[in-house]
């Protein structure tokens, strides 16, 4: 069965979650001259990767999702 409009809408939401997760992991890095402890923050090590991972899981669901057909009798 081909992908339908709901599939593409769910895939867009999953893609947005993945992008948000990667954006949460962005930040400054440690250089040779200075150490930045922010590289170990909860936002960059837990929240960002978790949102990105859930986005990838949701993307799989969005691809496999098949809407239920409405029956005429009920």
Q: What's the alpha-carbon Rg for the chain, to the nearest Å?
A: 19
Per-residue pLDDT of the chain in tens (74 residues, 90 and over written 9): 689 999 999 999 999 999 999 999 998 877 888 888 888 999 999 999 999 999 999 999 999 999 887 777 65
pTM as predicted:
0.84
Q: Residue ranges per domain, the chain?
A: 5-27+37-64
Between the CA of residue 61 and those of 14, 24, 39, 47, what are the distances in Å? 9, 23, 32, 21
């Amino acid at each position: 069965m081909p992908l339908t409009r709901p599939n593409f809408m769910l895939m867009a939401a999953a893609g947005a979650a993945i992008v948000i997760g990667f954006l949460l992991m962005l930040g400054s890095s440690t250089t040779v001259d200075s150490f930045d402890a922010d590289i170990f923050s909860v936002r960059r090590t837990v929240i960002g990767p978790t949102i990105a991972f859930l986005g990838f899981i949701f993307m799989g669901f969005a691809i496999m999702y098949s809407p239920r057909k409405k029956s005429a009798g009920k």
